[in-house]
Chains A and B, each alone.
Chain A
Amino acid sequence: MDIDLITNILYAMVRTGTPLLIVALGELICEKSGVLNLGQEGMMLMGAVIGFIATLTTGSLVLGFALAMLSGVLMSLIFGLITQELFANQVATGLALTIFGTGLSAFIGAGFVGKPVQGLDPIFIPVLTDLPLIGRMLFGQDLLVYLSFVIFGGVYWFINHSRAGLMLKAVGENPDSAHAIGLPVFRIRYLAIIFGGAMAGLAGGYLSLAYTPLWVENMSSGRGWIALALVVFASWKAERVLLGAWLFGLMSILHLVFQGLGVAISPNLLAILPYLATIVVLVMLSRDKLNNRLVAPVSLGRPFYAKS
């Protein structure tokens, strides 16, 4: 393999992993607060379709991404209302949200299938872009990829070094104690849910406005679900989420590369690779049973009732 091919693979790896990274970071924050939202796939699809329509009709990418995030937030507020105010089961509500989002996005987007839109262009950072191997990967991407770096850095710092992150972890571990020492459990959980929605919407927008600038029904093709698995197997650690998302990206690209190189394996089998490899690697990372009990948010999926 020559160096150009590797450079290109690394570039495509990050690009392909970006939507997964964004949605998984959103879910990571959400789960840290003890809320399990299985609606990622539905929120992503709503973000994708709304963002696409907004950009197609107005020509503004900024408006497209803004509305993509907003639609993710609105979807997550439905989830928040049902699970936090009405104490419905989080798993069932999340599943319903995905089914709802899948159907509604297909309905709204029916008239827009196959229409082209001018997608996001890469921004080349002078000099750095020309670095061998990693130049294109880290410095020749579009704005959203750079933004995903920023979001990753922010989430990592937030969880590990900020006071608010400490509060988030406390609420996820033991909401009753958190309430007893005076932390606003509901507000923290709502904010976490909203952040998760915004990130899912943004990731959806990335799919339909940058990654493949068009709208196809069900175009997130299971990334929301992979993101959920990613967060668990990453042991709720931001750096492992990044690793898993990029690994998924790498494997997605490799199967195209293998086909290009004429490897005699059925393309259908190769298409499984990203899902399989991501899960296998993260399972191996997280096989320490004792450690897992320490990292998982203890109250994950359990409703919290403030008794008064």
Chain B
Amino acid sequence: MITDSSPLRLSLRGITKRYPGCVANNKIDLDIHAGDIHALLGENGAGKSTLMKVIYGLVKPDEGDVLWEGEPVAIKDPAFARQMGIGMVFQHFSLFDTLTVTENIALALGKEAGDLPSLAKKIKAVSEKYGMTIQPDRLVHSLSVGERQRVEIVRCLVQDIKLLILDEPTSVLTPQEVDTLFETLRQLASEGCSILFISHKLQEVKALCHRATVLRAGEVSGHCLTENEDAASLARMMVGADTPITATFAKQFGTEPVLQVKQLSIPSESHFGMSLKDINLTVNAGEIVGIAGVAGNGQEELLASLSGETLSPPGTLFFKGQDVAQRRPNHRRALGLGFVPEERLGRGAIPDMSLTENSLLTGFLMNLLRKGFVHWNRTRNFTDRINNEFQVKTAGREATANSLSGGNLQKFIIGREILQQPDILVAAHPTWGVDIGAATAIHKALIALRNQGAAILVVSEDIDELFLIADRIGAICDGRISPLTPTEHASIEIVGRQMAGDFQAAS
């Protein structure tokens, strides 16, 4: 057990970083002891990423001091941080797809990497010691997301590491993989390595970490020992006093099939893609179906075939009994489809265009066109309705899409689709990166749409979210979809096994 008597490894004193228009970090203090597993908690936009980039030398703070083992240091760049013994596992991996595992690790190590064959041996030895088997000569693009994360971690471990920073490491893992990761981290900590674990998942923080520092709006809202707190009190520190943080929704079942996928198989066109294999799926009017899964298991391909970006073989996709497999996206929208894509900027909205123009993009069927001309007044009114009803924080309807924060843009896109009253809504990661208050609002809007009789399919990596809103639940793995189970009868453990490809788990 870690006590205050363990030597201090890293101390931050009064770290402040300002960006134009916002203060990302305001006078942050943080102490991490040797062998401590320390959580950095906070919502998206609370300043976690900026703070960890300060520690790793990617961002220079405007004010404040960094003390490393009691000595003041200026961490000028990532290479310097690594020399000191700081390693970092990024949320969006910093790996190179076309290089092998060994080459990737050699790149980060610099000259100390030595020759590749002996480095490969070292990688194998380290990865086995910590129970994270990886094959050094594999090309990175052929690895699963979980394996890539192991490469990132092993890359930190092959050098002498004293502080390991992990940025939302569990968002890409199945529940079982999360357990394995936690074992590795505990083993590391018991050997004296300090770990800074960045997350917004409270249960995980409670399960793994000894201490937590909670950030809210760029400031420290609390330091605590996790054993003295529960999930609700931690959440309260994250969001403040006046935001609703919990909700439960009654489950319901539809009977009339609205969206049907029958024996859909689409071979992948690229090395980096995933083939869809014999997918059968029915979503009824008045229910929400949730599909869990680790990124890269065919979600992207499934979503593209539902939206119409990829056409499917005839007879595989039906809206309200009508074969739409060969229909283009606009046609499908005219038949009552609403679609919230995974990628907000680029697919969901055009970055450099105003919100008004972006609302026209999919809302054109809302009587916004007049003989081929745009009815700008109606379009502006529609945009204002989205912004008001979904509380989009923006400088106004003429603000460009890329000027909005991720969460606000998500609210805008969800609002744009829901206000069109679709019969079928397909939504990918509806609350990804959205703060707790806004996530609750989005969940309520989805439930309201369901209660009006819409058929809703939600694809998400957040299992907790699916259990909260979905009426039936399943998982996608390796391009296949598991049988669906009523959420009331499903457990996280079963869905976790389905996410790993064990589809027998349902029965």
Residues of A within 8 A of B (CB): 163, 166-167, 169-170, 173-174, 176-183, 290, 293-295, 298, 307-308
| Cβ-defined partner of B103 (8 Å) among A166, A174, A182 | A166
- Name the A residues within 8 Å of B77 (CB-CB): 182
Would A182 and B82 count as touching, CB distance under 8 A?
Answer: yes
**Complex: how many Å from CA A178 to CA B270?**
24
| Cβ-defined partner of A166 (8 Å) among B90, B106, B271 | B106
Would A177 and B96 count as touching, CB distance under 8 A?
Answer: yes
- Name the B residues within 8 Å of A183 (CB-CB): 107
B95 on the A face (CB < 8 A)? yes
B348 on the A face (CB < 8 A)? no
Question: 8 Å CB contacts to A: which residues of B248-277?
Answer: 270-272
Question: 8 Å CB contacts to A: which residues of B180-199?
Answer: none
Known: A180-B90, A308-B58. A173 touches B103 (CB 8 A): no
Q: List 11 A-B contacts (CB under 8 A).
A: A163-B106, A169-B98, A174-B94, A174-B97, A177-B93, A177-B94, A177-B95, A180-B78, A180-B94, A182-B82, A182-B110
Would A167 and B59 count as touching, CB distance under 8 A?
Answer: no
- Name the B residues within 8 Å of A173 (CB-CB): 96-99
- Name the B residues within 8 Å of A177 (CB-CB): 93-96
Q: Which of B90, B107, B141 has the most CB of A within 10 A?
A: B107
Fill in one digit per residue for B56-96: 1 if any A CB lies within 8 Å of its CB, else 0: 00111000000000000000011101100000101001111
**Min CB–CB distance B123 → chain A (angstroms):** 16
**Complex: how many Å from CA A70 to CA B99?**
34
Known: A173-B96, A174-B97, A180-B94. 10 other contacts (CB 8 A): A166-B106, A177-B94, A180-B88, A182-B77, A290-B270, A293-B270, A295-B98, A298-B97, A307-B59, A308-B60
| Cβ-defined partner of A167 (8 Å) among B79, B88, B90, B107 | B107
**Min CB–CB distance B87 → chain A (angstroms):** 10
| Cβ-defined partner of A308 (8 Å) among B59, B82, B103, B271 | B59
- Name the A residues within 8 Å of B107 (CB-CB): 166-167, 170, 178, 181, 183
- Closest-by-CB residue of A relative to B58 is A180
- Name the A residues within 8 Å of B81 (CB-CB): 182
**Complex: how many Å from CA A260 to CA B88?**
68
**Min CB–CB distance A184 → chain B (angstroms):** 9
Would B271 and A293 count as touching, CB distance under 8 A?
Answer: yes
B208 on the A face (CB < 8 A)? no
- Name the A residues within 8 Å of B59 (CB-CB): 307-308
**Complex: how many Å from CA A166 to CA B111?**
12
Known: A163-B106, A290-B270. A174 touches B96 (CB 8 A): yes
B108 on the A face (CB < 8 A)? yes
| Cβ-defined partner of B271 (8 Å) among A167, A180, A290, A307 | A290
Residues of B within 8 A of A (CB): 58-60, 77-79, 81-82, 88, 90, 93-99, 103, 106-108, 110-111, 113, 141, 270-272
- Name the A residues within 8 Å of B106 (CB-CB): 163, 166
- Name the A residues within 8 Å of B94 (CB-CB): 174, 176-178, 180-181
Would B90 and A170 count as touching, CB distance under 8 A?
Answer: no
**Min CB–CB distance B132 → chain A (angstroms):** 19
**Min CB–CB distance A25 → chain B (angstroms):** 21
- Name the B residues within 8 Å of A181 (CB-CB): 78, 94, 107-108
Would B99 and A170 count as touching, CB distance under 8 A?
Answer: yes
**Min CB–CB distance A179 → chain B (angstroms):** 8
Q: Which of A166, A169, A181, A298 has the most CB of B within 10 A?
A: A181
- Closest-by-CB residue of A relative to B110 is A182
**Complex: how many Å from CA A46 to CA B60?**
42
**Complex: how many Å from CA A170 to CA B98?**
9
- Name the A residues within 8 Å of B90 (CB-CB): 180
- Closest-by-CB residue of A relative to B107 is A170
**Min CB–CB distance B303 → chain A (angstroms):** 21
Known: A180-B94, A181-B78. A294 touches B99 (CB 8 A): no
- Closest-by-CB residue of B relative to A161 is B116
| Cβ-defined partner of A170 (8 Å) among B60, B96, B113, B141 | B96
- Name the B residues within 8 Å of A308 (CB-CB): 58-60
**Complex: how many Å from CA A181 to CA B89?**
10
- Closest-by-CB residue of A relative to B57 is A182
**Complex: how many Å from CA A307 to CA B19?**
11
- Closest-by-CB residue of A relative to B113 is A163
- Name the A residues within 8 Å of B271 (CB-CB): 290, 293-294
**Complex: how many Å from CA A181 to CA B103?**
13
Pick the 8 closest A-B CB pairs, nearest first. A182-B79, A177-B94, A182-B78, A181-B108, A180-B94, A173-B96, A170-B96, A170-B107
Would B99 and A169 count as touching, CB distance under 8 A?
Answer: yes
**Complex: how many Å from CA A97 to CA B326?**
47
- Name the A residues within 8 Å of B82 (CB-CB): 182
- Closest-by-CB residue of B relative to A176 is B94
**Complex: how many Å from CA A179 to CA B90?**
13
| Cβ-defined partner of B99 (8 Å) among A163, A166, A293, A295 | A166
**Complex: how many Å from CA A182 to CA B272?**
26
**Min CB–CB distance A297 → chain B (angstroms):** 9
- Closest-by-CB residue of A relative to B77 is A182
- Name the A residues within 8 Å of B78 (CB-CB): 179-182
- Name the A residues within 8 Å of B270 (CB-CB): 290, 293
- Closest-by-CB residue of B relative to A180 is B94
- Name the B residues within 8 Å of A182 (CB-CB): 77-79, 81-82, 108, 110
